[in-house]
Every structure is written in structure tokens, then in C-alpha cells.
Chains A and B, each alone.
Chain A
Amino acid sequence: MTRPILNRRRFLGTAAMTGAALASPAYLRRSMAQGSGEVNIWTYNDFVPASFKEQFESDTGIKVNVRLVDDQGKQFNLLAAEAPNPTVDIMTVAGHRFLQFIDSDLLAPLDVGRLSNWGNINPTFSESDWSTINGEKWGAPILSGMEVLSYNTDVVSPEEALTWDTLFSEKYAQQNAYIIQDMMSIIMLKMGYDGNMVAYMDDPEKAAAIVEEAKQFLIENKPLVRKYYDGGAEVQQMFVNQDIVLAHSWNGPAAALINDGFPLAMAIPNEGSYGFVYTYNVANNAPNVDNAYTFLNAIIASSEIGASMTKASGFISTYKDASNHLTDLEKASTSFPEEQLANLQFFRAEANELKYSLVDPAVEAIKAA
């Protein structure tokens, strides 16, 4: 007869401890995050290869805790909510979003001197102008991506994919999808404007007029679109289910489908598109900063790791010689012809405040229309 009482007690005790943990104030959670051998990472799916994680934990005894994120804005808000005592050590910020995080004091400058393997990153990424702000480096570039036109090769021809107009054609009405926020930049570029809005920083009225023009274009073409989506997995699923035959997408999810043998191809259309770079960043006041640097130095240690990140995510590695470890199919899915690459430019952050103050309401208007 005593067993039920003991079980109940155990249950009550466990419940009380769980309740106490949930109700614990930030400083307690932080102290829990400061386990002697841990590093806490917020990143996208497949950005920490499973084999690397296992090897790193075995070699260093540092446990890698990955929390998956799917959006830069969510990451910002999560970190802002935890600041100035975050539970995270390393986050994954896109290069063109640095400024927002830095201005809010959420990132710590990267001490490159602590990364003996820094030289393994291609200088195109590690030493580019966007990666240095206020004279400091703010992140270790790991993967690069771009906004592309993905298409089912059984239905759409490579020639058709060389223009964004195909995405809005009657021929493929209701068989297409795009991310509105990203498409706004692309449409501005397609219309001959600077989608980064850097050129209009001193002329907000012109910037507003351009955003309005792009917004009207997307509203007029709304009847043709099948789905506005947000994440890479969604567009993959729509392609696989044959709900769509072409889409604006990031190259990573599309490359992953190509590597799986799906009849898909990508193009950077003639009107142009944008590229971006994902970086690993150390959070300001990170609880396990030494472990974070150990992790960063390990993950940029070899081109094989870069290649395995590319294999898993589909995005292009920023490491020197990473492509040497890819199969022909993987190389094909992560490379573009020179003439298409010439159409590419990188997202820039200088005018983000102006840009998103105009683009965010425009996105809402398009959804509501």
C-alpha cells in the first residue's frame, strides 16, 4: 500500500521541480545554461552537420545544444527578449542583418585572433566589406545563398527560367510560389531600381514611390500565384507534391531537392537577383564564450566540414576548396554559369531601416489585398 504514496510523492516532487524550473527567473536559467561543457547554438536546420557535432562532442567533451530557427526576425526577437543575459552562445545571422543586431548591442565583436583556422574561409567572404563594421569582424561566414528561380525541368524550359516574367506568366498561373518579402527586393531590381534602397537613403519619397510600384505589381499579379510561403521546407514540399512547377526560392532548399534526384533546376534570371551570406556570431555576453570559440574554430577547421554543410543544407560553402569534396551532382547543384552569376549582387544593410519601414507594410497590404 505504500507504493502509490511514494509514486505520488515522486510525481509531486518532479512536478514541483519542473514548475520551479519553468518559473525560474532569467539569472537562474542563465546559470543552468552555463554548464561546464556546453555550447548553445541557434541555427538553421542542417547548419551543424550531425557527424561534426558527434566528433566535436567526443573530442572536446563540450555538449552542443542546437535550437533550430527559421527566421532572422525571430532570432532577433528571441535574443532581444533575453538580453543582456542571453542563454545562447552562437547564433546564425545573415550578413545583411548584422547592423540591426549590432545596433541593439546583441552581438559581440568576433575575436579573429582566437580562431587559428580563420584562414580556411575564402577571403571573398571573410574579408569583404559587409563583414567589417565599425572596424570589427562580427561573424564567421559559413554558407552563402542566393535568391533564385527554381523550376521543374519536366515542365519549364531553361530559357523560360532566365526571366522573372515567367514566374508571373499566365502559362504558369497557379503553379508558382514565392516569399513576398524577398520578392519585393527582386521586383524592385527587375524594375530597374536598387532593391537594397541604398541609392534612395537621401530621398525617402522616391523610396516610397518605388516600394509602392513594386507593391502594386505584386497585387496585380496576385491572382496568378498559388502560394506565398516562408520556409525552405514549404517550397520543397510544394515541388514534390507537384502543386507548383516554378518558384522563387533560396538556392539551398532547391539544391537539396536536386541532390535527391528531383527534376529541378535553378537560374539567376537576367533581371538580376540577390545573394546573402550566413555567419556564425557570438552573442554579446554569451554564457559559454570560450566554448563558443572552441566550436567556431573547430567548424571552420577543414574543407570537408564545409562540404558536409553544403551537402546537408544545399547552400554554398564559404570554405576554401570545399567543392573538392562534393560529387558532380552536388557541384552542379551549387554552382551557376558565369553569365548568371554576373546578374547577382549581395543584399546590403545600410538602408535597412528605410527599406523595411516601407516594405513591411507593403507586404501586409499585398497579403490583405
Chain B
Amino acid sequence: MTDQAVTGGTPGDDRSDRTAWGRIAAWAPYRAFMGAVTASPRRQFLILAAFPVLWVLTQHLGPMIQMVRVSLTDAYPVAPGVEQSFTLDNYLRFFGDPIFWQPFFRTLIFAATFTFCTLILTYPVAYFLARHVSPKNRMLMLLLLLIPFWVGEIVRTYAIMILLGNTGAVNLVLQWVGLIDRPIPFMYTSFSMGVGIVYLTALYMLLPLYSALEKLPQSLGDAAADLGAGAWTRFRRITLPLTIEGISSGCTLVFLISTGFYATPVLLGGPSTTVFSETIAGFFHVAGDQWPTGAAFATIMFLAALLLTGAFQAVMRSLRKGDVR
């Protein structure tokens, strides 16, 4: 067998300067294998889909399925000598005890409120960035907005604590300018928690809004202005309806993230702001067979958040259709 036959190379190939990868690519068995797997579009699809499917199954669905499985057991982790059995008691515990309903509904109300606040606060920023900043400066501005996200949630939460504490910057400034004599107790309230969550989620709202606003043709606004529409009318009749996709995406992201926050409510919240993630965490911290209850409660929260965002998306879809008509 000649070298040419082994490598599958063509006459005249200069194999001496091939890279290692080049030699593998020219290797006959490799070429035969690649030829076989890419022979049909169906095979190509399967090969391309394999990794994403594996990723979703192991990294996304896997933990969720495991959580649901744990929620349907009466003991986890299973201590030596303990027998694990199937039960629905963990779900019934939630529906049978109103103690748990308050943090549950409080979480949903907080999440909806904070999502709305984030939208109201970030829309003007996104609008300014997309419509009034020159394209060459936009990346710089976006980079500046991204800087706080280079550090984690906990560090940013501590930054809020430094800002809002009794000896924090806000109180010091207010005292310095003579507006207050004693510090305002901002910390450990729904206000401090809200500030923290809005700050932490702002970018998840800002980017979809920016993307939607950037795609909006300037000519539409100009045409409306030519026809006599005022600024508010142009915003209400053109800008807002055509950015509803971004609003929908941003609100969904922020709402879902807000329902799951744990560290921020723990660090910034107070006695009357206990959210459902704290209740869930309580089951995982307490020694004993409480993990299944925590898993069941997490599943309930997950389903509720999913249902609410589904309903929200449906409303947004109907709004978009109304706009088209």
C-alpha cells in the first residue's frame, strides 16, 4: 500500500508541511467516517443536534428532572438504613398550610412590581442609547453599563448595602446637605430589596429593549412628525407598539430571575419581606428529611412562574396582533 493510499492524499500534495490537524483531516478512515456521517441532510442534522440536545438534557432538563424526582420522595438525601418511597405529601404540604402561601404570593407580587419598575427605569436609558447616541459611542456606553456585571450578584448586593446603610453614602449625603438629622433606615426593607433587584436585573431588561429600539427605523417617527403627530403620540402609536417584542422579552427575563433571587432578599430584605426562595432554602438548610419538601416547593414556584410568563406572553402576542391590524 502506498503512502498516498494510506493518507488519501492527492498526487502532488506536499505532506511535509501539513499541520497535525491537516494530516488527520487527510487520513482515509477519518475521511471515510466524515463522509458517512455527512452523507445526507438527515445525518448532518443529527450530528449537529447531538451536542445541543445533550447539553440541554444534562445541563438544563437533567437537574430539573432530578428536582421533580426528589420532590416525589419522602427522604433525600437517604441516610443509611432509611428506605425511600414515593409520596405526594410534599406538594400537599404547600396546599394544606396557608403559612406558605404568603411568601409565595409575596414573591410573585414583588417580582411583578420590580419587573415593572425595571422596565420604567431602563426604557429611557435604552431609548437614549439606541436613538440618540452615535453608533461609534454606543459600544462604549454599553460597555460602561456592563461593568457592574463583571462581578457577581453577592458583591453587587454588598455595594447596595454600602450605599443604603445607616452609615452609607446616601444617608451621609442627605445629612451633609442638611435634609435629615438622623439616618433614614433604608436597609432591610422592601425598598432596599427592590433597589437591589432592579439594579441586578436592569441589564436583562435593557439589552432586549435596546435591541428592539435600535431596529426601529427613524423614518417612521419622521413620517409621523410630518403628519403632525406630537412626541407623546409618536411614542404611544409607533415606538411603544414596535418595541413590544423587546418589552416582552425583557419583562419575561426579569420576572423569572426575580422570582428566584435568594441572596439579595436575604441580605437586603427585612422581617416582612421573606420571599419564597428563602422558605425553600430553609428546607435545604434544616437537617433531616426536608429536601423533598424544598424540591416540591421549588417545583411549584417554577410552574407558577412558567404559567404567569406564559400568560404574559399571550397578552403581548395579542397586543402585537392588534397592532398589525
Q: Give residues in A with beta carbon < 8 Å to B.
A: 1-2, 5-6, 71-77, 80-81, 83-84, 97, 100, 104-106, 174, 222, 225-228, 230, 234, 237, 241-243, 356, 360-361, 363-365, 367-369
Most buried by B among A73, A100, A360, A361: A73
Distance in angstroms from A343 CB to nearest chain B CB is: 27
Whether a CB of chain A sits under 8 angstroms from the CB of B16 is no
Residues of A within 8 A of B99 (CB): 361, 364-365, 368
What total of chain B residues lie within 8 Å of the partner, measured CB to CB?
37
Residues of B within 8 A of A174 (CB): 185
Extra pairs beyond A73-B287, A368-B274 (15, CB < 8 Å)? A5-B19, A73-B285, A77-B284, A80-B78, A83-B79, A84-B80, A100-B288, A226-B271, A228-B271, A360-B282, A364-B99, A367-B271, A367-B279, A368-B99, A369-B102
Tell me whether A243 and B285 are in contact (CB under 8 A): no
Residues of A within 8 A of B266 (CB): 230
Residues of B within 8 A of A73 (CB): 285-288
Whether a CB of chain A sits under 8 angstroms from the CB of B313 is no
Contacts A73-B286, A361-B99; A241 near B80 (Cβ below 8 A) = no
B185 CB contact (under 8 Å) in A6, A105, A243, A363: A243
Tell me whether B287 and A97 are in contact (CB under 8 A): yes
Residues of A within 8 A of B188 (CB): 226-227, 243
Over the window 149-191 of chain B, the binary record of Cβ atoms lying under 8 Å from chain A Cβ atoms (1 yes, 0 no) is 0000000000001000111100000000000000101011000
Q: Give residues in B with beta carbon < 8 Å to A.
A: 19-21, 77-81, 97, 99-100, 102-103, 161, 165-168, 183, 185, 187-188, 266-267, 270-272, 274, 278-279, 282, 284-288, 291
Q: In the bound complex, how far is the Cα of B77 from the Cα of A84, in angstroms?
A: 11
Contacts A5-B21, A72-B287; A227 near B270 (Cβ below 8 A) = yes
Contacts A2-B20, A243-B166; A364 near B77 (Cβ below 8 A) = no
Tell me whether B271 and A106 are in contact (CB under 8 A): no
Tell me whether B80 and A367 are in contact (CB under 8 A): no
Residues of B within 8 A of A363 (CB): 282
Q: In the bound complex, how far is the Cα of B78 from the Cα of A68, in angstroms?
A: 23
Tell me whether A243 and B165 are in contact (CB under 8 A): yes
Most buried by A among B99, B100, B266, B271: B271
Q: In the bound complex, how far is the Cα of B20 from the Cα of A80, in angstroms?
A: 49
A5 CB contact (under 8 Å) in B20, B165, B288: B20
Q: In the bound complex, how far is the Cα of B77 from the Cα of A231, in angstroms?
A: 24
Tell me whether B168 and A367 are in contact (CB under 8 A): no
